[in-house]
Amino acid sequence: MPPILPPQHAAHLEGIVFPHADILSVADRLPAEEQRKLQTIHEFLQTEIRPAVGEYWDREELPFDLLPALAAHGLGEIELSGTSRLYRGLVYAEVTRADVSLSALVGIHNELVVGLIDKLGSPEQKDTWLPGLRTFEKVGCFALTEPDHGSDIAGGLATTAQRTEDGWVINGSKRWIGAGTFADFAITFARDTTDNEIRAFIVELDREGVTRTKISRKMGLRIMQNADIHFDNVVIPLDNAIPGAQSFANVNDFLCYSRAWVGWQGAGLQLGIFDKAREYAVSRQQFGRPIAKFQLVQEQLARILGNASASLTMMAQVAWVQEEGRLEMPFAALAKATTTRLARESAAAGRNIGGGNGILTEYDLSKMMSDAEILFTYEGTYDINSLIVGRAVTGVSAFV
């Protein structure tokens, strides 16, 4: 496989023995066709997406005009593509390497919206939504978290769905919902008032009784539009219940896979941090020589690369287990907790290499440091994922 290296960086790196950040050649495990596709996606993301998104990040705006290009590279239908788990994971890592917010959009879209409708939806729901979702002409969001229930959502979920002759009546509030400001519909989790079971419903967000408010002034993931969504007696057709998601246990696989997806984000972010930190280290001069010549700078580059490689190889193994149908929540939780913990350390080291410039969005390093905080928290906080692992290895739960 040709080295995964942004062409604009190549001039700085002449004579460097390991020009690409995937130093252990994880991508070489892919079949040749998937390697080619991954390289094409990498080049597109590094040349067209990465340089374009900084100003949107500063303004907390989503570059809607870039969505058709993402779709043209198949990023709206990764979960329908029949490609290997390793390929899908490496694509998620590559999107994150270019921008964490867009990777959140692509990942939630594929893992929790397209994938869930494809596997658990009715034939009518698939016909209605999947064609538009493939091209990003339609966008869905995943509405689970609530203002008063984050880590304890499984037990505490308070949004209700009441079945009537005319349809389901949804009441309640959701918080932090990615793409919630503009999505066409929300896969909404609500408790059925008849049996207290948590079920998932497709709620079109232009229905009467829906209000949505953008959550502004976030320290990270600033391009992704997160929203508070309130449902006040929102009536939806009975057919909008997702037939395969009639209990929380039914969607557990998806929550497990999406946790693994965030593990890939943790790995991909560190590739991006390494790219930028190395680029800066070899080009910035102090004391009459590149700062890359200083031992302390080299130690930090080695630390970032070690963290990134550990994360990438761990995720490659997750992909293999997932491909075999053996991925369980504790393994996904361990991977997510580990790669995002390492991403935080790598981000701090990368930002340090950037010195003063390291705090400016245009150098990407502070942007990636802020985005690392979000990976550490969403899809189950670091603490909760650690406790899931702790329960699995001790047999006792420390959190319920």
Ligand X SMILES: Cc1cc2nc3c(=O)[nH]c(=O)nc-3n(C[C@H](O)[C@H](O)[C@H](O)COP(=O)(O)OP(=O)(O)OC[C@H]3O[C@@H](n4cnc5c(N)ncnc54)[C@H](O)[C@@H]3O)c2cc1C
CB of 219 or CB of 302, closer to ligand X: 219
Q: How far is the CB of 86 from ligand X (least distance, A)?
A: 25
Q: Helix/strand/coil (H, E, C) string of the chain?
A: CCCCCCHHHHHHHCCCCCCCCCCCCHHHHCCHHHHHHHHHHHHHHHHHHHHHHHHHHHHCCCCHHHHHHHHHCCCCCHHHCCCCHHHHHHHHHHHHHHCHHHHHHHHHHHHHHHHHHHHHCCHHHHHHHHHHHHCCCCCEEEECCECCECCCHHHHCCCEEEEECCEEEEEEEEEEEECCCCCCEEEEEEEECCCCCEEEEEEECCCCCEEEEECCCCCCCCCCCEEEEEEEEEEECHHHECCCCCCCHHHHHHHHHHHHHHHHHHHHHHHHHHHHHHHHHHHCEECCEEHHHCHHHHHHHHHHHHHHHHHHHHHHHHHHHHHCCCCCHHHHHHHHHHHHHHHHHHHHHHHHHCHHHHHCHHHCHHHHHHHHHHHHHCCCCHHHHHHHHHHHHHCCCCCC
Instruction: Please report how close the Cβ of residue 310 comes to ligand X at its closest, in angstroms.
Output: 23
Cβ-based nearer residue to ligand X, 247 or 381 = 381
Which CB, 60 or 275, lies closer to ligand X? 60
CB of 271 to ligand X, least distance (A): 21
Which residues lie near ligand X (CB under 6 A)? 108, 142-145, 150-151, 176-178, 221, 226, 374, 377-381, 383-384, 387, 399
CB of 285 to ligand X, least distance (A): 37
The smaller minimum CB distance to ligand X, of residues 200 and 387, is found at: 387
> In the complex with ligand X, which residue's Cβ is closer, 143 or 297?
143
Residue (87 or 189) nearer to ligand X, CB: 189
Whichever of 226 and 240 has its CB closer to ligand X, that residue is 226
Least distance between ligand X and beta carbon 145 (Å): 3
The nearer residue to ligand X, 152 or 166, going by C-beta atoms, is 152
Give the residue closest to ligand X by C-beta.
150
Q: How far apart are CA 60 and CA 50, in angstroms?
A: 16
Taking the complex as a whole, the smallest distance from the CB of residue 381 to ligand X amounts, in Å, to: 3
Q: How far is the CB of 155 from ligand X (least distance, A)?
A: 11
| Closest distance of CB 32 from ligand X, Å | 35
